Amino acid sequence: EAGVAQSPRYKIIEKRQSVAFWCNPISGHATLYWYQQILGQGPKLLIQFQNNGVVDDSQLPKDRFSAERLKGVDSTLKIQPAKLEDSAVYLCASSLDRGDEAFFGQGTRLTVV
Amino acid sequence: GESVGLHLPTLSVQEGDNSIINCAYSNSASDYFIWYKQESGKGPQFIIDIRSNMDKRQGQRVTVLLNKTVKHLSLQIAATQPGDSAVYFCAETISGGYQKVTFGTGTKLQVIP
């Protein structure tokens, strides 16, 4: 079974630039999550989708971060403009439904310089 | 690859010994708990879970203990192997609703051959 796919694997940008990350969840998974993991910390939930609807974006910095899952499958997370403190690994995860085991992708390592 | 465990508390264990990793959770309303293993450069991987109506659950070489009175979880790994070297996170959530999962700060396990 294919896992959660994320791209790119690594990204280096200058502050104030924009960046986008892509996630393809496991086929058939209704729930999709984006997490931010700063070095030395546990993952922090940014946004959770149920199909193509947002169910929790309380920790998403909405002045600069946006995410969409238009057709209820793939998702993109965008940062515009990026700040130095956005340097982190961005993890995408999916689960069959809410409350089911979440499977994580390898993440995108973002470095803002 | 990058290390997620750069500034985390570290537990060093001799190969073949048992490991005990501890975690304090924050929300007394949490009723579902998960342990994740995260190897360098990879996303977190589910190890074992436990619901609040239990105080112990066993898997293959792993046991999770839950003490709701003091809001404490532990993960015991029997006969620790080099492949167990990773960062371990506990996560808590409230079942029902949108089940937001909150990760702890993590512990880095180093297995000494």
Q: How far apart are CA B89 and CA A36, in angstroms?
A: 15
The minimum CA-CA distance between A101 and chain B, rounded to whole Å, is: 7
Chain centre distance of CA B109: 10
Q: How far apart are CA B44 and CA A104, in angstroms?
A: 6
Has residue B47 been placed in a domain?
yes
pLDDT at residue B4 in the model: 45
Amino acid occupying residue A98: R
User: Is the pLDDT reported for residue B105 higher than 90?
Assistant: no
Name the 3-class secondary structure at B43. Answer: coil
User: Comparing A99 with A79, which gets the higher pLDDT?
Assistant: A79
Mean pLDDT of A81-101: 94
Q: How far apart are CA A111 and CA A39, in angstroms?
A: 11
Report the DSSP beta bridge partners of residue B76: B20, B63
Q: How far apart are CA A3 and CA A94, in angstroms?
A: 9
Has residue B5 been placed in a domain?
no
- Residue B86 lies in domain: 10-112
Has residue B3 been placed in a domain?
no
Closest by CA to B73, choosing from B99, B53, B92, is B92
User: Is the pLDDT reported for residue B1 higher than 60?
Assistant: no
For the domain that residue B78 is a member of, what is the CATH number?
2.60.40.10
Q: Domain map of chain A by residue range?
A: 5-112
A5-112 maps to CATH 3.90.930.12: no
Task: Specify the number of domains making up chain B.
Answer: 1
Has residue B4 been placed in a domain?
no
- Say which of B8, B43, B95 has its CB closest to residue A40: B8
User: Is the pLDDT reported for residue B3 higher than 60?
Assistant: no
Has residue B96 been placed in a domain?
yes
Tell me if B89 and A55 make a contact (CB, 8 A cut-off): no
pLDDT at residue A100 in the model: 84
Residue B7 phi, psi dihedral angles, 5° rounding: -120, 20
